[in-house]
Structures are given as C-alpha cells and as structure tokens.
Amino acid sequence: MSYLGYTKIISKYLYTIQNPFILEIGVDKGQTSLPLIHNLVMAKSNFKWIGVDVRCDDGFLNQLTQMNGVDVFLNEGNKAGCNAFYITANSLEVLPTYKSRGLKFDLVMIDGDHNYDTVKKEMSYLNDLTHSHSFVVCDDYEGKW
C-alpha cells in the first residue's frame, strides 16, 4: 500500500514548511516517494527526504537517480549536497540513531513491516523525532502479521 491518494495533500502541507524534512519507513517501489519528491523539486523546495527499507529496490533507485534536482545518498559515500537519502536497513535499528542525533521530521510516513508490534515500536520514537506541527501517517498495521 502507498499514500498515492494523499500525495497532493501531503505536498501542499510540505510547501508551507521552509525546509521540509521527511522520513518514509517502507519505501517499497517508490509509489509515494517518486511523486512526492517530484512535487518538492518542482516547487523548488529545499527539502531532505530519508527513505528506509529493509531491501533496496533497484527500479526505484534508478528512477530516483534520474530525477533532476535530486542528489541521492545510498547508504555510503559523500553526504554533502544530498537531498534524498535511501537507506537499506531495519527501521528499528536506525530510529534510535536518528533520535540520538536529534533529528526532527516534519513528515513521517510509516508503511514498513505491517506488524502491530513493529509499528508500535516505531511510533514510540515519534515524540523525539517530530515537532509539534509534524504530520504522521501510518498504513495498514492490523494485517495477518
């Protein structure tokens, strides 16, 4: 599942923020990431997007690296000037790191494991990773797992 039906609404919210900082847990094939990042580039937004997924989708990565206005950081290398960070990792491993670094996100989209216990743990970090105005969206966490 993705947030395709919400991309315009989410984009409009991010346009109101000077330098929006986005965390997307569960990138999959980039169904949400690609239109969202495209909208931010077209709006000439000075954004940073971090996508975390347990697997790297080569098709998504190829599309992302072909976009004008997007400089991608993939797990390693020079971070200077990057506005899109595609991290292959378990969210429960990186969220404590983001918390310890004091990162604060304006938008958090949780659509990874679809397991209630995992989502509950991910959400336990939200007070430390968000502002009072941050927007948080969660997707189907009551599945068979």
What pLDDT band is residue 107 in, cutting at 50, 70 and 90?
Answer: very high
pTM of the model: 0.91
What pLDDT band is residue 144 in, cutting at 50, 70 and 90?
Answer: low
24: nearest Cα among 49, 48, 61? 49
CA distance 85 to 49: 6
Q: What is the DSSP string of 100-121?
A: HTT--EEEEEE-SS--HHHHHH
CA distance 74 to 51: 10
> 107 has which bridge partners?
22, 135
CA distance 66 to 69: 9
CA distances from 111 to 3, 116, 142 (A): 9, 11, 12
CA distances from 66 to 33, 62, 63, 110 (A): 14, 6, 5, 25
Percent of the chain with pLDDT over 90: 72
Each residue of 27-68: pLDDT tens digit?
Answer: 999 999 999 999 999 999 899 999 999 999 999 999 999 999
What pLDDT band is residue 1 in, cutting at 50, 70 and 90?
Answer: very low
CA distance 123 to 117: 10
124 or 4, higher pLDDT: 124
Least confident of 2-6, 24-28, 38-42, 87-91: 2-6
Mean pLDDT, residues 116-134 taken together: 91
- pLDDT at position 51 is 96
